Chains A and B, each alone.
Chain A
Amino acid sequence: MSETPERDAHSGVETTGHEWDGIKELNMPLPRWWLWTLYATVIWAVGYWIVMPAWPLVSSYTQGLLGHSERARVAEEISQARAAQAGLRERIAGSDLAAVRADQDLLAFAIAGGRSAFAVNCSQCHGRGAAGSPGYPNLNDDEWLWGGSLEEIDATIRYGVRAGHEQSRANDMPAFLSDGLLSRPQIADLAEHVLSLSGRGEEPARAARGAALFAEQCVACHKEGGTGDPELGAPSLADQIWLYGGERADVERSIAFGRMGVMPAWEGRLDPVTLKQLTVYVHSLGGGE
């Protein structure tokens, strides 16, 4: 190897001495900085295998000397976040709902926490913006089946509606057709009267017949004039809000087959502070009384 390497006449670059069918290979080694970077990454990789989780095994993986775990890190970050909120959470735990609502800091914290708890637990039925859908009440408006004060909202969230809890909200709207209480024409008359309560009646004669049926069958819960009773969970029939739809067919269906909505009881499933946050959040949506 003492002889000087051959230089390619055309490019002036050294050749490696290899030759195939008259074609010679130029000696173009990789740049030094590139090589050093490569070696550095190789060394780094070996070190990484040793200290970090790296190689899959049959039922586990190499843990690495540092014992790093993304899951543990997430758990730690969550507990750190919890710890950072501890002061506010304790204050909410120790305050009644009205006091939470009166304090600007607690209110902001409760609304923020309530919003995320709502997104996780409630939005499946009530919708992301709590606007509801047929059968699932809109929580933004000012009509409340079971009352819209902080205490009533709290009770509804805690115990649910027909949720099996002993304090659950429950009532019994009869299915007038399938239970054989009213005939189809009677139900049509009754529906005409119900529509007339919100100014949408078309046939006064039928409405009058319906009014008599209403006084007989419905007034106990829905009250005189159909104004409803939150104590009984009986909705107002005289306003513009219709949980199950306000068209004639919807009203007739409600009378004929009854309406028995359900909502889970959240006590025991969510911690007390989160329940308070949810209550304050729902109350803050705009309809709170």
Chain B
Amino acid sequence: MFFPPNKLAELVRQPGGKPRDAAIADAGRNIDEQRDYLAEGIREAVHSIEAVIPRSDGPAIPSPLVEIILQGCDRIIGLAGVLGYQSLEAAAKSLCDLIACLARSGEIERAPVLVHVQALQRLSERPAEVSAREAAVLIDQLARLVGHYANRA
């Protein structure tokens, strides 16, 4: 074990720079400026996940298509929470949980994935129009569905 030089630590302690609160506020402004672009990224990700469903024949979704779903979820989780779409983020996480459960049983069944995709569509089309209560019910139902498959696995 040894202590290597930490150049980053040396640089950040030099005079200048911004205090924490100012830096965070400026970063928040930069996010706000990109809000429309990032929202477009979420819509694109939901569409890419939707497109997987008709491409998968039979009761199971093949692995290359599952990869597309997971990549879409990764983006939704990354962007939705930052933009304040917590329910959409929760639905995407639920879909990842579901896929993890199904992967343990060896087959990614199409039906429960489809339910999640419909929830993502509902929550992403016009997020402002979905009431908090409706979103909570949707997320709760998704959690029950995942619980069912988790118990089975």
Chain A complexes with chain B: no
